[in-house]
Amino acid sequence: MGTESENNGVLKEGFLVKRGHVVQNWKVRWFVLKSDRLLYYKYEGGKRDSCHRGTIPLSDCKITCPYLEYENRPLVMKLQTSTSEEHFLEACMREERDEWAAAIGAVVQNLNPHGALTTSPSQVKGSTSLQLHNVNLSQVVDSMYDVHNGIRLCSHVEQGSSYTNCFSGSAVVDWLVFNKLALTRVEAVTLASALLDEASLRPIGIRSADALRNAALGEQFLDDSTALYCFSQSFHKRGSVKAEKSRSAVELSGKVVKRGYLLKQGHKVKNWKVRLFVLRAEPGFLHYYDPSKDDITPVGSISLRCCLVSALDDNGIPSGVKGKIQGNLFKIITQTDTHYYIQAPTHEERMDWIQAIRKLT
């Protein structure tokens, strides 16, 4: 478990959330991809452990991405080693998950050039959308509900009647294609029609209701900005919707600009914890979540109106910062003079976050 050699030949590194083997809870770990294995480390306080906590050998490893068996965790991939040991890893974004899967897949391919056992993200998503009978419609709706990446609920007016918490047919199709749950708009319409059949979605307003009544004449779901739909009342809303009820709907209605894992120092107990940060615009808010929990209610939020954000010098420990730290610190001071101390995993990510936050202040 030495550290000198482990710093050499790093192909990719970053935070992922890992499900435990014995106690099946989810914990944030720092992962380092090497030419034949994946190492993971624990963060103690604000600093990474010098010795890795575990190793995943990648020779003859099978990758399943996306792995959609966990409700409220749509960003998981599964690694199955040559000894059939399974590891479940969650990323903070679809792009990040797919980058990890591709990087691990490349290592597996190099180790097994004549028979790599890798399932690529595009292959899985493509086969899912082409074979509708294999799609888990409940998971599709769960993903649509997701506070971070789900479909945006809006208000519409149709022929003098006002409708709230709804979305247009074209918005549903856009969302399904953008999230690669369907390859084409035609496939997305077929998938959306299945959601109507299962009563996960229902038409509201004249345009969509007429289309459903006349379904025998063609496709019952309309890829149309004037056809309105909403979630069925019979569908039990899960964690993400609870989160919207428990926190200001205005706060969570903003467009997601950036998301990622950062370390945050607590206010009362000055310990460091990894949090999933989600930056939203219009209105400008920075929400942070406990990535170990299935419930996606924010742990806290930072209003960015008139706030100040700045990088902190990594030479020594700045005033207000406690404990051992890795570095790449920055500070946010709110309009009410609350100070937040945050660490990014790398210097580049620190600058990216600072620039993104400054645009919203």
Q: What is the mean pLDDT of residues 60-88?
A: 88
Q: Is the CB of residue 253 less than 8 Å from the CB of residue 223?
A: no
Strands 228-231 and 201-204: antiparallel
Is the predicted pLDDT of residue 35 greater than 90, yes or no?
yes
Cα 276 → chain centroid:
9
Tell me the three state secondary structure of residue 123. Answer: helix
Please give the C-alpha separations between residue 6 and each of 9, 59, 247, 255, in angstroms, as whole numbers: 8, 18, 43, 39
pLDDT in tens, 190-217: 888 888 877 788 888 777 777 666 554 4
Q: What is the pLDDT of residue 133?
A: 44
* Model confidence pTM above 0.85: no
Token look-up 């920075």 returns 286
- For 258: left if phi > 0, alpha if psi spans -120 to 50, otherwise beta; the answer is beta
**Is residue 113 exposed (0-12), middle (13-18) or buried (19+ Cβ within 10 Å)?**
exposed
Q: What is the pLDDT of residue 267?
A: 81
CA dist., res. 261 & res. 15, Å (int): 7
Q: Which of 322 and 119 is assigned the larger pLDDT? A: 322
Asked whether the domain spanning 137-235 has the same topology as the one spanning 10-111, the reply is no
Is the predicted pLDDT of residue 344 greater than 90, yes or no?
yes
- Order across the sheet with 26-33: list the strands: 54-57, 37-41, 26-33, 12-19, 86-90, 76-80, 62-67
pLDDT in tens, 7-29: 568 999 999 999 987 777 899 99
CA dist., res. 38 & res. 52, Å (int): 10
Q: Phi then psi for 338, rounded to 5 degrees?
A: -90, 135
Q: Count CA atoms closer than 13 A to 168's CA, side-chain side.
A: 12
DSSP for 78-90, please give it. EEE-TT--EEEEE
pLDDT in tens, 121-174: 434 333 333 345 456 777 788 788 877 788 888 887 776 777 888 898 989 999
Nearest to 221 by CA among 235, 239, 208: 208
Q: Which of 39 and 253 is assigned the larger pLDDT? A: 39
Q: What is the mean pLDDT of residues 305-318?
A: 85
Lowest mean pLDDT among 24-28, 34-38, 69-73, 126-130: 126-130
| Consecutive H or E run containing 258 | strand 255-265
* CATH 1.10.10.10 matches 137-235: yes
Q: Which of 340 and 208 is assigned the larger pLDDT? A: 340
Q: How confident is the model at residue 44 (pLDDT cuts 50, 70, 90)?
A: confident
Distant-in-sequence, close-in-space partners of 193: CB < 8 Å, separation ≥ 6:
219, 220, 221
Q: Phi then psi for 342, rounded to 5 degrees?
A: -135, 140
Instruction: Pick one of 2.40.30.10, 3.30.70.240, 3.30.70.1150, 2.30.29.30 as the CATH number of 10-111.
Output: 2.30.29.30
Q: What is the pLDDT of residue 302?
A: 93
* DSSP letter (8 states) at residue 133: G
Q: How confident is the model at residue 114 (pLDDT cuts 50, 70, 90)?
A: low
Q: What is the pLDDT of residue 34?
A: 95
Query: Span 247-359: which CATH code?
Result: 2.30.29.30
Q: What is the pLDDT of residue 213?
A: 60
Q: Which of 119 and 325 is assigned the larger pLDDT? A: 325
Q: Is the CB of residue 212 less than 8 Å from the CB of residue 169?
A: no
Peptide bond into 66 cis (omega under 30): yes
Q: What is the pLDDT of residue 146?
A: 78
**Residue 277: count of CB within 10 angstroms of its CB:** 23
Q: What is the pLDDT of residue 361?
A: 86
CA dist., res. 263 & res. 121, Å (int): 29
Q: How confident is the model at residue 249 (pLDDT cuts 50, 70, 90)?
A: low
Share of the chain above pLDDT 90, in %: 36
Q: How long, in residues, is the chain?
A: 361
Q: Is the CB of residue 262 less than 8 Å from the CB of residue 278?
A: no
| Consecutive H or E run containing 281 | strand 272-281
**Is residue 159 exposed (0-12), middle (13-18) or buried (19+ Cβ within 10 Å)?**
exposed
Domain residue extents for the chain: 10-111, 137-235, 247-359
Q: Phi then psi for 149, rounded to 5 degrees?
A: -120, 5
Q: What is the pLDDT of residue 296?
A: 67
Q: What is the pLDDT of residue 153?
A: 84
